[in-house]
Structure 1
Amino acid sequence: MKSSSSDSEEEHEVLDYVRQPSPEVVIPTSRSVKLPYTSSRSGLVYDVRMRFHAEIVSEYADATDVHPEDPRRILEIYEELLHAGLIEEDPAEPGTAHEYTLKRLQAREATGAEICLVHSKRHFKWVRDLESMTRDELVDLGNQMDSLYLHGSTFFCARLSAGGAIEACRAVVTGHVKNSIAVIRPPGHHAEPKKPGGFCLFNNVSIAARVCQADYPDLCRKVLILDWDVHHGNGVQEAFYDDPNVLYISLHVHKDGTFYPTGPTGNHTYCGGPSAIGKNVNIPWSRHGMGDGDYMLAFQTIIMPVAMEFDPDLVIISAGFDAAEGDTLGGCHVSPACYAHMTHMLMSLAHGKVAVCLEGGYNLRSIAKSALAVTRTLMGEPPDRLENLIATDSGAEVIDLVIKQQSRFWKCLYPKTESRAVVKGNPIHDILREWQSMLLGSEYNMSELFILREEISPSFSKQVLATENYAHSGPLLVIVHDPPQANGQAHHRTGLLDLHNTHLADETKTYIDWACTHGFAVIDVNIPKQITGLEDPSVSEESAEKHTQLSRDLLQYIWENYIEINDSQQIFMMGVGAAGAHVLHLLSSNEEIMDRVAHVINFVADNALLAVRRQTDDASAWYWRNSHVFVANSHLAWDPERKKRKKYGNIIKSPYDGINDMLYAHRHDVTTFLDQSTQEWQKGQTEQQRRKRKELNSNLLNASTHLQEITSTSDERSGLRSPGGPPIGMFGVSAGPFGGVRQQGLGGGREIK
């Protein structure tokens, strides 16, 4: 479908934005002078023509293979609102509007000048040129793009979507409505200033924010854009990265940069440009499965304190609903009630001036129910109760990282973190490992295995310890574990720990105790979360990757230089926590290792459940037969919809979630298994000890007989002894009764004065 502008007008369209000198703002009179906000209506932007942008499919295509960005998305939401009685029947006829319905706001095509407030002119013209392409050209070009399909109506619909966002925000800023929701598509938050991406052509919320700032500088100077789409809004971040008047906050699945949009820019370390440091806040979930508790914790500890300190004039929500329960693309579990609570909290900002603009969300029922909950909250209904407010361990860890990073830019965030350039000291994990090496050395004579490789050696000093018999033929237990956990209460403001209230939990040592007392050889490998000499991996993506690679190299080095060449007949590998991933990588990278390893024991708490992967043989079946994988009680592995595959090993559900609780609870199971698995070796040891005792007894008997023979001849005279000397035989020297020295022989003695 062609844009409403003629071809000649398009060619000469002004792409430089010019603000009207005095834009007229007519604020409608509210129905109640005493309650002006409450008595005002909420606005709705919806235009059926946005559905014209659709994927071009051939007549032979599979009808069930529907693109996630389905035109029915906006229709499903609109019909949900309509069936709930929130939309006036016929906005064209006066007198049909109801008091408790949404006020219809007309969508329009955004002008080229408005779009170019964010996007380059070249990008705008590229999208405009799509109208003149054939179907085949559009399909071919779309196949070359980043998660994007193209249609003859794409340019028109993209302008209509951007214009709808502008009108939704403009109506809120000018007071025509108290707040608004724009049910628009195609979405926009992945569209960067110079290129499209991720189903997005024009960056709707960014354009709307820029237009409102330009047209109403006195009413809309500072804008908060809150993005709860499950994907990072890389386009919004780039548009405002160095703008101190726009605060962009995004909650999204990041997975160390492996989830779309891939790369490091969605990490918590990206905090804004030199002029806007702290004005970009990323809350990057490390995995899927985030729920209401995680989002509520993020809102209560980061988002609302920062937003209140920023004090915006307008709040725009990039409302993607792909983190909703039921959306398989996002893989999270946010409920409609949680979306309502987040909206309710944001309505406390900017005098309630909130505009909600649809982004992603690809389960039709999930987005409809979630959008309805948000709309009812905008209109004044209190949110429903939340069922689960417990944050996951991984979610809480990410939130702590964000606070640590952002606390230096925001007064409201505690504890404050001092710069490492100012405060220098020894990491506690290095001090603890030094103490552990001394303790294990004194108790079991364990000593350090030296890593003679230039890059690895200084990084893992004191991290690899072994008993003296590690190269013998007996069973060998190799424990690869995270550092012990320290439990303490940090000062709420400074973050400092009181050492007398800090306790060390090291349940791994109990396994070393058992193994050493039962004759096992032990190699203990501690994988620190931060390797000395590297930048903190919680702050640097590159350091995190380097940490992983160094840890893998370390384990490979230990195997090649200390384990593979020894005489151990039974090798047991034990992984504890995140360090267990390196054990699985070792097994996956070398086909011959499985011939030596008898069994693998793994403890998985808040880290990912990983598999042994190898294409050349049946490694998955071997791992399933020869493993015990204890998985935390609340781990995503126990999701009823998740299939239990052999490649993850013989997984066992633990009644506990904490790694130390799991180690304690399953110690008897593990040690019993190890004991039973080494029965043949124990029998051999018993037989060997019996033979040694027999040989020792025989030697003692021979020595006793020889001694008796010597004793029997001690009183006989011998021509070899000196005259007056003691008898031949054994003798001792002792003090006489009067201070003299007495020679004591076997037959008596005499005192020497």
Structure 2
Amino acid sequence: MANGASTSKVTLMDVDVDGAGPTQPQPTHIEPSSIWRRPVGYVYSQQMLAHFKQEGHEEQPHRISRIYDALLKAGCIDSMTRIDIRPALKEEVTLVHSEDHWNKIIAFQFLTDQQIADSANFYEHLSLYVCQGTTLAARLSCGGVIEACLAVAQGRVAKSFAIVRPPGHHAEPEEHSGFCFLNNVAVAARVVQQATNIKKIMILDWDIHHGNGTHRAFIDDPSVLYISLHRFDGGIFYPGGPLGGMASCGEGAGLGFSVNVPWPESGMTDADYLHAFQRIVMPIAMEFAPELVIISAGFDAADGDNLGECHVSPAGYSHMTHMLASLAGGKLVVALEGGYNLDSISASAEAVARVILGGAPDALGPMVATEAGTETVYLVAQEQSKYWKSVDPKACLPKEEVEDLAHTIPDLLKAHRQYYLYTEHDMMSIPLLTPELEKAFSSQIMCTSDVFEQDTLVVLVHEFGNLRTELMNLATCDLNIEKSYLIDFSKQIMNWVRSMNYSLIDINLYPKANAPANAPMHKRYHYKARDDLERNVLCYVWDNFIQLSGASRVVLIGHGPGCKTLVDVMDMRTASVKRLVKAVVQVVGTTPSLTVPGADDEELISWYDEHGYAVLSSAHPDMHPNLLKKKKFRRFGRCDPFDEPQSYRVIMTAFPEIRAFIRQKLDDDLARPGPSNTA
């Protein structure tokens, strides 16, 4: 390795006994390059080989020497400019790590052989090994990434490649683990923020393992965007735990600035990674607009790596690098992390180096992301769309390969309800004469057989009940079918209505899809003018059944989203509503916002104030004390809050009050003198 030896001007004498090092970094030397463009730099030193284990280990010294040799053989080293390496300084490391942690790293160089042997089991528990050369190697690895980043940030080179070890992204502020001692990338990012005008930094971590140390270092910091693509396997793949899950998005001011793409299994491919880049990584990166991009470039997702067990090719890495190079005006640093198959990491690093030198990424053939990959990207998009406007979950919806064999949950619930109403209450479907309404609501408008015989008619307007599910696996969202069930809030209402010998019309306003049957399943429930459809069907039922039923006393009960449509129809059929309706109950629960009829009709406002009753959760936004004081709230009629957090529990708790309210209004109507049912 004669060529490698000449790449570093640092010797063991560069580290003084107490480990503090010089107070300032040594001057960085940049060799001349073409006047037409800034050079591309690299960092490497054979002295990082001093960290080793006698009996061999995955994180072996030849990881970096093989990469260097591969780049040298390919001509990349000759086309790049050497950036002098140096040990990281205490004042730099403690921008991320504690002083105690720094002292632990410094102490390794003073260990005896017996102390190393005695502590082997302890460090094995942390997925580490140590030796006297660990201190220098760890400080050089961290200092090398610092210099690579400063050279780019200060404009001395366009891009840089830090060929360093040991890796760093598992090193947390207080602890070293997972082959990592100092968090090279995190420390370098902090140094750049302090030493230059660059403040917004993006760290893209494509190592197969989640970079828990980097994530934790910036978990509450909005100035650093951390994105990690890694194997998660439900939280059991190293380093394990919930921090690498898709819902772990940062804390406090940093909420939304931590992005995890947690693969649920091994076997992920170029197509999966590039799909995630196109749908998640690049949209978020462009919205964030970093001033510097640092890649935590572990190559253990590469095809052939036994720890990662995935199949990313050198071409795949080159395409990801090419996309990231388009950000931050091209300011890009590649810092080596993991990767333990020497052939894989050498070929992958060479592909990346060719791209940062200005070459085009290697060609890729036709490919399709796996089912696990597309599903993961879709779920991540749903989570990240809370924080990033550019992330569109609809664009990430996976293609269903079983669409022709599948029934949607809404369709199954509608079929169940139709069967239940028929068998339990002898209810029948109301025919809908217009093709549009028949297509959208067939078998969803049901009435009892005595609808034209009873004097009192109850009209129940709703969507679905509450589907309660238990997940077998949080990572894949698989349902435990045996422990999932439908809570039908309307059962007690219908049982009471029938016990009182009232007739009943049940209106399920959740329309069927108007897309073609062969359309992708995820498009079948995107409705056009859904509000108009719901108003039209309710007006149709009002005009052709409710008014013609012969009932002189009508009770309207709306639930959830059905309340708004009910109010709209009351505005559209004001005269007949005031004549026939004796009670209006809105069971709003926790959503949506409470609406009332009569925006400009004082008579209708006064009528509703007498006949209306709203039931809400005490947690509903409309129950805020400041809103209760406003004049508009006086139009809501009687309005009662209930201390229940869920809509179905609100109606269960409030049902005695609902029943008493309806009975009172019907009794009041009977007690009025003169002809019944007059306005």
* TM-score, scaled relative to structure 1: 0.52
| 2:132 is the counterpart of 1:134 | no
Paired with 1:157 and 1:132, the residues of 2 have a C-alpha distance of 14
State whether residues 181 and 375 of structure 1, in contact with CA within 8 Å, keep that contact through their aligned partners in structure 2. yes
- In 1, Cα distance between equivalents of 2:283 and 2:414: 41
Say whether 1:411 aligns with 2:389. yes
Q: Are residues 1:87 and 2:66 paired?
A: no
Could you tell me which of 305, 313, 318 is aligned with 1:335?
313
Q: Secondary structure at the match of 2:226?
A: strand
**Aligned amino acid, residue 5 of structure 1:** V
Gap change, CA 1:81 and 1:31, over 3 Å in 2: closer
The correspondence for 1:73, drawn from 63, 83, 91, is 63
The CA deviation at 1:537 is: 8.5
Q: Closer, same or farther in 2 for the Cα pair 1:306/1:29, shift >3 Å?
A: farther
Q: For residues 469 and 171 of structure 2, what CA distance do their matches in structure 1 show?
A: 35
* Pairing 1:518-533 to 2, within 5 Å after superposition: 532-533=467-468
Change (3 A) 1:193 1:501: farther
- Write the letter of the residue equivalent to 2:48: M
Say whether residues 1:314 and 2:292 are aligned partners: yes
Deviation at 1:389, TM superposition (A): 2.7
CA contact (8 A) 1:2 1:153 kept: no
Q: How many Å separate the matches in 1 of 2:440 and 2:385? A: 25
Specify which structure has the higher proportion of helix. Answer: 2
In the TM superposition, what is the alpha-carbon distance from 1:411 to its structure 2 partner?
Answer: 1.5
Q: CA deviation at 1:135?
A: 2.1
Structure 1 CA distance for aligned equivalents of residues 390 and 13 of structure 2: 48
Q: What is the letter of the counterpart of residue 434 of structure 1?
A: L
Superimposed CA distance per residue, residues 476-530 of structure 1 (whole angstroms, 9 cap, x where no aligned partner): xxxxxxxxxxxxxxxxxxxxxxx9899xxxxxxxxxxxxxxxxxxxxxxxxxxxx
Q: Verify: 1:249 aligned to 2:227, yes or no.
A: yes
- Tell whether 2:183 aligns with 1:223: no
Deviation at 1:388, TM superposition (A): 4.2
One of 348, 351, 358 as aligned partner of 2:329? 351
Deviation at 1:132, TM superposition (A): 1.6
What is the root-mean-square deviation in Å for CA atoms of aligned residues?
A: 3.5
Q: Of 171, 175, 193, which aligns to 1:195?
A: 175
Instruction: Establish whether residue 52 from structure 1 lines up as the match of residue 32 from structure 2.
Output: no
The residue type paired with residue 81 of structure 1 is: L
Task: State the distance in 2 between where 1:68 and 1:320 align.
Answer: 13
Q: Which amino acid aligns with 2:128?
A: L
Shift of the alpha carbon at 1:115?
A: 0.6
Q: Which of 139, 161, 173 is equivalent to 2:141? A: 161
Cα separation, partners in 2 of 1:107 and 1:296, compared to 1, 3 Å: same
Question: Which secondary structure does the structure 2 equivalent of 1:404 belong to?
Answer: helix
What are the residue-to-residue correspondences of 1:542-557 with 2, within 5 Å? none
Q: Is the 8 A contact 1:19 1:215 kept in 2?
A: no
Identity %: 45
| Of 39, 42, 45, the match for 1:41 | 39
Structure 2 distance, partners of 1:47, 1:500, is: 72
**Equivalent-residue separation in structure 2 for 1:211 and 1:390 (angstroms):** 41
CA drift at 1:120: 0.6
Which residue is equivalent to 2:655? none
Q: Distance in 2 between matches of 1:138 and 1:501?
A: 74
Output the amino acid matched with 1:67.
Answer: H
CA distance in 1, matches of 2:336, 2:152: 16
- Structure 1 residue identity aligned to 2:265: R
Shift in alpha-carbon separation, 1:5–1:415, aligned structure 2, 3 A: closer
CA deviation string 1:56-85 (max 9, x = no partner): 44xxxxxxxx31111100010000011112
What is the CA distance between 1:273 and its match in structure 2? Answer: 1.1
Query: What is the DSSP-based 3-state SS (H/G/I as helix, E as strand, rest coil) of the residue aligned with 2:119?
Result: helix
* Residue type at the aligned position of 1:149: Y
Map Cα deviations across residues 18-56 of structure 1 (whole Å, 9 max, x no partner): 999xx9999999845xxx5xx221101000010110014
Q: 2:131 aligns with which of 151, 166, 184?
A: 151
1:409-448 alignment runs, 5 A limit: 409-415=387-393, 431-435=410-414, 437=416
Task: Give the number of the structure whose alpha-carbon radius of gyration is greater.
Answer: 1
Instruction: Note closer, same or farther for the CA distance 1:375–1:24 as it changes in structure 2 (3 Å cut).
Output: closer
Q: Which runs of 5+ in 1 are unaligned?
A: 58-65, 89-100, 418-427, 446-498, 503-530, 556-753
Report the 3-state secondary structure (helix = DSSP H, G, I; strand = E; otherwise coil) of the residue aligned with 1:247: strand
Q: What's the counterpart of residue 401 of structure 2?
A: none
Q: Do residues 279 (structure 1) and 257 (structure 2) align?
A: yes
* Aligned counterpart in structure 1 of residue 214 of structure 2, from 226, 230, 236: 236
Deviation of the 1:318 alpha carbon: 0.2
The reply to whether residue 6 of structure 1 matches residue 16 of structure 2 is: yes
Alignment map for 1:590-605 (pairs within 5 Å):
none
Note closer, same or farther for the CA distance 1:411–1:554 as it changes in structure 2 (3 Å cut): closer
Task: Give the match for residue 174 of structure 1.
Answer: 154
Deviation at 1:104, TM superposition (A): 0.6
Q: Partners of 1:25 and 1:150 in 2: how far apart?
A: 29
User: Is the Cα contact below 8 Å between 2:148 and 2:162 reproduced in 1?
Assistant: yes
> Where do 1:344-423 residues align within 5 Å?
344-415=322-393
Q: What number of residue pairs does the alignment pair up?
A: 426
Aligned partner letter, 1:198: G
Measure, in 1, the Cα distance between the counterparts of 2:353 and 2:394.
37
Structure 1 residues 309 and 135 mapped into 2: Cα distance closer, same or farther (>3 Å)?
Answer: same
CA displacement 1:229-280 (0-9 Å, x = unmatched): 0110000000001111000000001111011111111011011111011110
Cα distance in 2 between the residues matched to 1:438 and 1:405: 32
Distance 2:161 2:40 in 1: 8
CA deviation string 1:379-431 (max 9, x = no partner):
011011112431011100110111100112112112489xxxxxxxxxx9764
Shift of 1:441: 8.7
Q: Check conservation: 1:27, 1:176, Cα contact below 8 A.
A: yes
Please give the secondary structure, in 2, of the residue aligned with 1:275. Answer: helix
Contact 2:298 / 2:338 at 8 angstroms: preserved in 1? yes
Q: How far apart, in 1, do the equivalents of 2:381 and 2:218 lie?
A: 21
After superposition, the C-alpha distances for 1:343-398 in whole angstroms (9 at most, x for unaligned) are 11111111100000000000000000000000010001101111243101110011
2:15·2:136 contact (CA, 8 Å) conserved in 1? no
Which deviations, in whole Å up to 9, do the C-alpha atoms of 1:664-712 show, x marking residues without a partner?
xxxxxxxxxxxxxxxxxxxxxxxxxxxxxxxxxxxxxxxxxxxxxxxxx
- Over residues 170-189 of structure 1, what are the superposed CA-to-partner deviations in whole Å (9 max), with x where a residue is unaligned? 11111111100010000000
Tell me how far apart the structure 1 counterparts of residues 255 and 420 of structure 2 sit (CA, whole Å): 49
Aligned letter for 1:82?
L
Query: C-alpha distance in 2, partners of 1:29/1:182?
Result: 19
Secondary structure class of the residue paired with 1:326? coil
The match for 1:208 among 172, 185, 188 is 188
Select 2:239's aligned residue among 261, 264, 284. 261
Structure 2 residue aligned with 1:729: none
**What CA deviation, in whole Å up to 9, does each residue of 1:152-181 have, x standing for no partner?**
111110000000000111111111111000
Distance in 2 of aligned mates of 1:309 and 1:253: 25
- Find the counterpart in structure 1 of residue 301 from structure 2: 323
